[in-house]
Homo-oligomer: A and B are copies of this chain.
Amino acid sequence: MAKIDHISPLAPTDGFPNLPVIDGVTFAATAAGVKYQGRTDVMLAQLCAGSVIAGTFTKSSTRSAAVLDCQAKIGSDPTGPAAILVNSGNSNAFTGKNGLDAVHKITQAVSEHLDIAENRVYTSSTGVIGEPLKWDRIIAKIDDLKAGQSAGGIADAAKAIMTTDTFAKGSARSIVIDGEQIKIAGIAKGSGMIAPDMATMLVYIFTDAKIDQDHFQTLVSDCTDSTFNCITVDSDTSTSDTLIAAATGRSNATKLEIDSEHSKTFRTALHEVMLELSHLVVKDGEGATKFVEVQVTNAQTNEDARAIASSIANSPLVKTAVAGEDPNWGRVVMAVGKSGAQADRDLLSIWFGDVLVAENGWAAPSYTEEAGAAHMKNDHIVIRVDIGLGTRNCTMWTCDLTHGYITINADYRS
Residue positions of A touching B, CB distance < 8 A: 58, 60-63, 93-99, 128-131, 192-193, 195, 197, 234-239, 314-317, 320-321, 323-324, 326, 328-331, 333-339, 341-346, 348, 358, 360-363, 401-403, 405-407, 409-414
CB pair A362 B331 closer than 8 Å: no
Q: Can you list 18 A-B pairs with a CB-CB distance of less than 8 A?
A: A60-B337, A61-B344, A62-B333, A94-B345, A96-B361, A129-B330, A193-B334, A235-B314, A236-B316, A236-B317, A316-B409, A320-B405, A321-B410, A328-B414, A331-B414, A402-B406, A402-B410, A403-B410
Selected from B63, B131, B411, the residue in CB contact (under 8 A) with A324 is B411
Q: B410 near A336 (CB under 8 angstroms)?
A: no
Q: Is the interface of A mostly helix, strand, loop or mixed?
A: loop
Whether A239 touches B333, Cβ cut-off 8 Å, given contacts A324-B410, A343-B61, A410-B324, is yes
In the complex, residue of chain B having the shortest beta-carbon distance to the beta carbon of A128: B330
Contacts of A321 in B (CB 8 A): 409-410
Residues of B within 8 A of A98 (CB): 362
Look across to chain B and name the residue whose beta carbon is closest to the beta carbon of A94: B333
Residue from A96, A316, A363 having most chain B Cβ neighbours under 10 A: A316
Of the listed residues A96, A337, A344, A403, the one surrounded by the most CB atoms of chain B closer than 10 A to its CB is A337
Q: Which of B129, B235, B328, B360 has a CB less than 8 Å from the CB of A413? A: B328
Copies of this protein in the assembly total: 2
**Is A320 in contact with B96, judged by CB distance below 8 angstroms?**
no
The residues of B that contact A234 with a CB separation of less than 8 Å are: 316-317
Using known A-B contacts A193-B317, A317-B234, determine if residue A409 contacts B346 with beta carbons closer than 8 Å: no
List, in ascending order, chain B residues with CB within 8 A of A235's CB: 235, 314-316
Residue from the list B63, B193, B316 in contact with A405, Cβ < 8 A: B316
Q: How far is the CA of A58 from the CA of B334 in the complex (A)?
A: 11
- Once the chains are docked, how many angstroms separate the CA of A20 from the CA of B341? 43
Closest residue to A132 on the B side, CB-wise?
B362
| Residue in A129, A328, A330, A331 whose Cβ sees the most chain B Cβ within 10 Å | A330
- Check if B334 sits within 8 Å of A61, measured CB to CB: no
Per a CB cutoff under 8 Å, which of B60, B329, B345 touches A61?
A: B345
Contact A406 B361 (CB under 8 A): no
- Docked CA distance A402–B61 (Å): 28
Contact A363/B62 with A317-B193, A346-B96, A402-B410 known, Cβ cut-off 8 Å = no
CB nearest neighbor in B for A322: B410
Q: From A330, which residue of chain B is reached at the shortest CB distance? A: B129
A9 to chain B, nearest CB (A): 16
A63 and B337 in contact, given A330-B94, A330-B129, A331-B414 (Cβ under 8 angstroms): yes
Chain B residues within an 8 Å CB radius of A413:
326, 328
Do A338 and B197 touch (CB < 8 A)? yes
Asked if A334 and B237 sit within 8 Å, CB to CB, the answer is yes
A97 — which chain B residues lie within 8 A by C-beta?
Answer: 361-362
Task: Write out the residue numbers on chain B whose beta carbons fall within 8 Å of the beta carbon of A131.
Answer: 363
**Which 5 residue pairs across A and B have the least CB separation, nearest first?**
A129-B330, A62-B337, A96-B362, A60-B337, A237-B338
